[in-house]
Every structure is written in structure tokens, then in C-alpha cells.
Structure 1
Amino acid sequence: MNTTTATGADILQDFSELADVRIGLDASVRSTSVRALNRLLAHTMAIRDAYKKAHWQTSGATFYELHLLFDKHYNEQVLIMDSLAERVQTLGGVAFALAQDVADESAIARAPRGRESARAQLARLLDAHETILIDARPLARASADAGDDGTNDLIVSQVVRSNELHSWFIGEHLAAQARTAD
């Protein structure tokens, strides 16, 4: 389908449409996986942005250490984001790409515009990782049950494992901050 929008832009595929791709999966399975992956993509885009905000605005005694950690995790979330978007496209879907998509789809709490303490940044990031992990695990199981091994592998090997590791690092920093505050 090729349509033209009010601004004159040619649309090759509407967001809600699924392209016919030959990867051995029924359209219903691919459609379900596309919706699930786009949700994880929106979460990943939200946490990526939270990491960059924290990277730019961290302060205090652990500034340098957190500044580097936040940037490392940001870059790793970018890689996950790219893998999720490419899987959506592989399944014949259209991947989320805009800030409005994130705002509409992700349940990750938005950070305030102001500068937060390192402790608040860490707590917010820990909550965001937990949101992703709570959503990702049942989506991985559902994709495996539907025979979509590629989506299952991506969710387990990249989304779950990376977010568990990031959550552990952030949790350890948060615990260390609590110990020094006592």
C-alpha cells in the first residue's frame, strides 16, 4: 500500500499493517510478536533516554563512576533498541521510532525536568529495569509457545539478560549510596 499524507509524504506501509514476509511464521504469530516487541522497544527507548539524562545530570561524590556507568548502560540499551526494531521489521511490522510512541506505549515513569540526586536517579533506573523485566518474561514465554523462536531468543538473550545485569549494577550502587548515607 502506498498512500500520501496531508504533508505529501509517501507512506509505504501503515503502522498497523503487516508486510508479507516469508520467514515461516503465520501472520497472527508475527502480529502478536510485533506488538510485544514494540512495547519492549518503547520501554527500551524510555530507559535509554533516562540513562542519558542521568549521565548528563549526575553529581556528588560518585559523579565520575556513575557518569561512566550511565553512559555504558545507555550505549548498551541503544544496541538492544536496534535489535528490537530490526526484529519488528523482520516480522513484517513497523517499529516505533518517535518520542510520542514512547510516551503513548511505555509504562516507565518519566523523570522530572529538574536535576535529581544520584540516589533518585538510581532508584528511577532500577524501577525502569524492573518494568522491562516484568513485561519481557511473559512475552518471551508467549513467543516460544507460538513457535517464534527468533523473538524468544532476542527477548531472553538481549532484553532479559542485559536488563537483569544493569539492574544488578544499579541496585549495588543504590545499596552503596544507602550505606554511605547511614
Structure 2
Amino acid sequence: MGNIIGITEENRKAVSVELSKLLADEYVLYTKTRNSHWNVEGPDFHSMHIFFEGQYNELDEILDSVAERIRTLGHYAPATLKSFLDLTHLTEKIGDKNNSLAYIKELLGDHESIIEFLRGNIDPFANKYHDLGTSDYITGLMETHEKMAWMLRSHLV
């Protein structure tokens, strides 16, 4: 399978390896956001329960699109909890308290970590691996995470 979609196998594999790390990060963040949705307590419970639901729904769509991008490149997406934990840059740890601000701070830090990872791969995907499609894809994904982070950050002021 040489140059399918005009990208060498070596370059598609390198990009897929990085996208697999991203998929793992997205899955851990999705799970932590679900945890926040399920376990938040306090006087703002109802509004935060709904807010976290919107966030995890958006992350669910991201998960599918990242996995499909890996498949588009001709590789298999990791799909086990063990593989996600082995590949992720994030931790499963979440604040000790079940209040919304503890959850928001933790989730915000994870979004910011993913944004940095995405930003750091835009240029290499385009210029080193000659994969403009994935470079463009992660640029849009970075913008999505920036907006999600803004929504979280807005609760902290």
C-alpha cells in the first residue's frame, strides 16, 4: 500500500501514531467529562450537569472523527482502555471534590494540554509528513478545543 492518498506509508504511519495519542487523550478527557456530568454536586448541579453533557457530546463526535482520520490514513485506531491509558498524555485523576469548579479546572487543563499537542503537530504534519489534510483537520480540531476551553474558563472568572 505505497502512496495511497498521495502520502507515503512511512509518513501515514508517523501521523497515525500521533493521532493515536490524540485519540487516547480525547477518550480520557471524554471519560473525565462524563465523570463530571455524573458526579457534580452543589447548588449549581442542574446547570453544570447540562453543561458537562454538552461538552461530552462534543467530545464523542471528536472521538469518532479522530478514529476515522486514522482509518483514512490506512491504519487501525486503538480501541481498548489499556491502549488509551498507555498512549495518553493526560491522567485519570480528577479533583477530590465533586463541585463544579474542581471539575472545570481539571477539564480546562486537559483541553489546554490537547491544544498544545495539536498546535505542535500542525506544522510537522504539513511540512515533514506532507499530510496537509491531517494538518488542516487538527487545526480545526484545535479551534474546537479552544472554544470548549473558553467555555470552561468562563466559569472561573
TM-score band, normalised by the shorter chain?
A: over 0.9
What per-residue deviation string (whole Å, max 9, x for no partner) do you get for residues 35-71 of structure 1?
A: 1111110000011111100000111122122111111
Pair 1:29–1:78, CA change in 2 (3 A): same
What per-residue deviation string (whole Å, max 9, x for no partner) do you get for residues 121-177 of structure 1?
A: 0111011101101111111211111321111121111x20111011001011122xx
For residues 6 and 149 of structure 2, what CA distance do their matches in structure 1 show?
Answer: 35
Q: For residue 30 of structure 2, what is the amino acid of its counterpart?
A: R
Pair 1:111–1:165, CA change in 2 (3 A): same
Partner of 1:156: 139
Partner of 2:149: 167
For residues 75 and 112 of structure 1, what CA distance do their matches in structure 2 show?
Answer: 19
Contact 1:57–1:115, Cα closer than 8 Å, also in 2: no
For residues 144 and 49 of structure 2, what CA distance do their matches in structure 1 show?
Answer: 19
For residues 133 and 23 of structure 2, what CA distance do their matches in structure 1 show?
Answer: 16
Match of 2:77, SS state, is coil
Mean alpha-carbon deviation: is it higher for 106-115 or for 24-33? 106-115
Work out the number of aligned pairs and report it: 156
For residues 98 and 2 of structure 2, what CA distance do their matches in structure 1 show?
Answer: 47
> Percent of aligned pairs with the same residue?
29
For residues 67 and 57 of structure 1, what CA distance do their matches in structure 2 show?
Answer: 9
Contact 2:21–2:88, Cα closer than 8 Å, also in 1: yes
Q: TM-score, normalised by structure 2?
A: 0.92
Between structures 1 and 2, the one with greater helix share:
2
Q: Alignment RMSD, CA only?
A: 1.7
Contact 1:21–1:92, Cα closer than 8 Å, also in 2: no
For residues 42 and 2 of structure 2, what CA distance do their matches in structure 1 show?
Answer: 53
Match of 2:154, SS state, is helix
Gaps of 5+ in 1: 1-18, 176-182
Bigger radius of gyration, 1 or 2? 1
Q: Within 5 Å, which residues of 2 pair with 1:69-80?
A: 69-80=51-62
For residues 112 and 36 of structure 2, what CA distance do their matches in structure 1 show?
Answer: 17
Contact 2:19–2:70, Cα closer than 8 Å, also in 1: yes
Q: TM-score, normalised by structure 1?
A: 0.80
Q: For residue 153 of structure 2, what is the amino acid of its counterpart?
A: G
What per-residue deviation string (whole Å, max 9, x for no partner) do you get for residues 51-103 of structure 1?
A: 10000011112212211111111011111111110111111111011111121
Pair 1:99–1:21, CA change in 2 (3 A): farther
More contact order relative to length (CA 8 Å, sep ≥ 6): 2
